[in-house]
Chain A
Amino acid sequence: MADDQALIRADGIAVDFGDRKILHDVGVAIAPGEIVTLIGPNGGGKTTLVRVLLGLLRPGSGRVRRRARLRIGYVPQRMHIEPTLPLSVSGFLALGRRAGRDAYRAALAEVGVAHLLDSPVQQVSGGEFQRVVLARALLREPALLVLDEPAQGVDIGGQRELYRLIAGLRERRGCAVLLVSHDLHLVMAATDRVLCINGHVCCTGEPATVTDHPEYRRLFGPIDREFAVYTHAHDHEHDVHGDVVETETGGA
């Protein structure tokens, strides 16, 4: 991908927390309208990479280049709102961009929770609140949506709904999507590119549709078109310290 095409591009990113190497030599670029899914083991640095891309964390080395005036819509992993804060959903949306009740209602309707407009945020369930946060991101008319583990704690039916919704948003709005997935193998079918992150980019590729894998169909039942399987193609392994070990010829 040429430099001028990418919405955001990170090169040679390294992040250390004390003695722990979290990321080293990670590069990623996201093109307009592209859906990229980050997968990888816990502690592998997915969320750290997202924080670097969002500008929330300055990397020890490497650089992040964003297209000028790039608008990002961000949906963080978990949000806890203080019970002492009397905030309604519309008040929450207004914090991102002041747009008026009609716009708030439309944004909530787009993610299927229009009925929540005047609810106190503390009374909204976790899954619904995530959609509210997504609505707040959409109100900014982002060129890039970043969702950190949106499917975490959501059952498989809820995940299907969510993936359908995200794929629909990309279709309608043409925004790029960066998605962090909690699952190592099952990703959103609309994903254009998967990056497996474990300290570095272990492998990258396109996911295969679930229908190609009778084994998954047997395992998950009729999970149909919203899911796809990603087959890892690692040319190395990690030892217990997370360091790269070259795979023996013939491989695992």
Chain B
Amino acid sequence: MDLFADPFVWRAPVAGIGVAVVAAPLGCFVVWRRMAYFGDTLSHAALLGVALGVVMGVEPMLGVLLAALTTGTVLVTLQRFSEFAVDTVLGILAHSTLALGVVVLSFFENLRVDLFSYLFGDILAVTPGDIGWILGGGAVVLMLLIALWRPLMALTVHPDLAQVEGIPVTVVRLAFILLLAIVVAVAMRLVGILLITSLLVIPPATARRFARTPASMALLAAGVAALGVTAGLGASLTWDSPAGPSMVVASALLFVAAVSMAPARA
């Protein structure tokens, strides 16, 4: 078929599945640690990162990484030294960084049109260079996640206990934020900053009721995520719907199906 000779057709699933299978296992920790809104904040800050990248004339992905890391560090600091609840601090950071990003970008005529693609992604426009970033970044994230698995799990279950047992809690926490920042930077091109959290949260939630161990939940979530991406892209090709949002809708439908198939145990 001519369709598959077109590089746009295979690049999209490679990119989508590449991001999804990395985001899902990491997303399990986001779910277990109740950090969904934190992921959201990192991705909102990504737009500011894009703007910074443009201003400084560097690769936007580097700008995004920098912005996400800075936001993560600021958050950890604010959390420790302010009287505001975490969700308040997150709300302030998420929306002020997003707004600042939009304002800065508005000074660049040619980028203004791209705003929609930054917000909702443009997976069909991924370049071979993007695929390099996705596969390279994804491999790094997965390897680090495997290396960090046990300390991160101990920290997730009980940070004080983990620290008494000799785990360098602060280092592990920062490393986790770094991994999230990389995933956000990479996933932004595909589903846009407004939908990144769905890649982190929906597949693990779908996998939860079928998993008996943390590792099986992570693997299952990766599989579910790949399925959601494939189904979404198929729908997008068939009905000409926007690719990123279609992937999220497909993923959400899988979640609904899973929840109705396996009722919560009492």
Contacts and interface: CB of A to CB of B under 8 A. Distances in A.
The answer to whether A and B come from one shared complex is yes
Interface of A: 51, 54-56, 72, 74, 76, 79, 81-82, 84-88, 91-92, 95-97, 133, 136, 140, 146
B153 interface: yes
A81 B154 CA distance: 11
Interface string B197-209: 0000000110010
7 contacts: A74-B161, A79-B161, A84-B31, A86-B208, A96-B165, A133-B161, A136-B161
B146 to A, nearest CB: 15
Contact of A85 (B162, B163, B164, B214): B214
Contact of B160 (A74, A81, A84): A74
Interface string B16-43: 0000000000000001111000000000
A193 B89 CA distance: 45
Contacts of B217: 86
Given A56-B160, A56-B164, A84 B154 contact: no
B5 to A, nearest CB: 44
Given A56-B160, A74-B160, A96-B161, 5 more contacts: A84-B32, A85-B156, A85-B157, A95-B150, A96-B165
A146 B208 CA distance: 34
B27 to A, nearest CB: 11
B216 interface: yes
Contacts of A95: 150, 153-154, 157, 162
Given A91-B214, A95-B153, A95-B154, A84 B208 contact: yes
Nearest to B169: A56
B110 interface: no
Given A95-B153, A95-B157, A82 B34 contact: yes
Contacts of A74: 160-161, 164-165
A85 B32 contact: yes
Max count, chain B CB within 10 A of own CB: residue among A54, A87, A95: A95
A88 B157 CA distance: 12
A232 B31 CA distance: 48
A55 B164 contact: yes
B212 A140 contact: no
Contacts of B157: 79, 81, 85, 87, 92, 95
A139 to B, nearest CB: 10
Contacts of A76: 158, 160-161
A87 B164 CA distance: 21
A133 B164 CA distance: 13
Nearest to B154: A95
B211 interface: yes
Nearest to B204: A84
B77 interface: no
